Amino acid sequence: MAATEQVEAMDEVAAALLMQRELLPGEKLLRSYGANALLPLHPDAGGNGSRPYILGASAPKKVLGMLHLTNYRLKFKPTDPREPDFSIMLPAITRIQDVSFLLVRKFRLTMQDGSVIEFLKWGIPAFIYAVNAVGGAARELDWNAISRDIAEAPPEALGAWAVLPREIQSTDTTASAG
């Protein structure tokens, strides 16, 4: 194993261990992926009452981090602690599509309210397959019980903002950026 591969493997292990402390009751970390989130540059990012990222709302800022897939959600944890981390519950995702163009490997998540967020990463087909497989099972979970766990979770569990399924959205547990 080359030195760079060892460093990358250690980074993934460290990120996975950090994520373990932020899991909700009954939640399991399934896989962690290196990814760049494309976040908008505008003044109210993460503010209360703002919608999740809207395509074309502003020029995107590329934020390097890890995207963690659990049996409940995708959680993005940036490598720079000054950047916000966030969660997207799997049932809130209505569509995931590969929107790569030429050499840019990019996928787009579309939420129930029509808002979108994009990520850059390699290996998109396998990632989409994994999210769709886990997302189908997540829709069958008891989201009323999970919403109680979310309400009782410490703030760092979900991150700076979260996209919740329409069934459990409320103003006190959902913050979004964009």
Lowest mean pLDDT among 29-33, 105-109, 124-128, 165-169: 165-169
What's this model's pTM, rounded to 2 decimal places?
A: 0.76
> In this prediction, what percent of the chain has a pLDDT beyond 90?
34
pLDDT mean across residues, the chain: 79
Q: Which of 2-11, 50-59, 77-86, 111-120 is predicted least confidently?
A: 2-11
Asked if pLDDT for residue 3 goes beyond 90, the answer is no
Contact 2, 10 (CB under 8 A): no
Q: Which CATH class is domain 3-168?
A: mainly beta
Higher pLDDT: 123 or 54? It is 123
Nearest Cα to Cα of residue 38 among 55, 20, 60: 60
Euclidean distance between CA atoms 90 and 137, whole angstroms:
9
| Number of Cβ within a 10 Å radius of residue 172 | 7
Residue % of the chain over a pLDDT of 70: 71
**Contacting residues for 34 by C-beta, under 8 A, at least 6 apart:** 8, 12, 64, 65, 66, 67, 121
Instruction: Grade residue 170 by pLDDT with cuts at 50, 70 and 90.
Output: low
- Does 162 have pLDDT greater than 90? no
Q: Hey, where are the domains in the chain?
A: 3-168
Is residue 150 within a helix (H) or strand (E), and if so which, with residue range? helix 143-152
Residue 71 identity (one-letter amino acid): N
Predicted confidence (pLDDT) per residue in 111-148, tens digit: 888 888 899 999 999 999 999 999 989 989 898 899 89
Q: What is the predicted pLDDT for the residue at 11?
A: 56
If pLDDT is split at 50, 70 and 90, which confidence band does 41 have?
Answer: low
- Give the model's pLDDT for residue 14: 61
Q: What is the pLDDT of residues 76-111, one digit of tens each?
A: 999 998 888 999 999 999 999 999 888 888 999 988
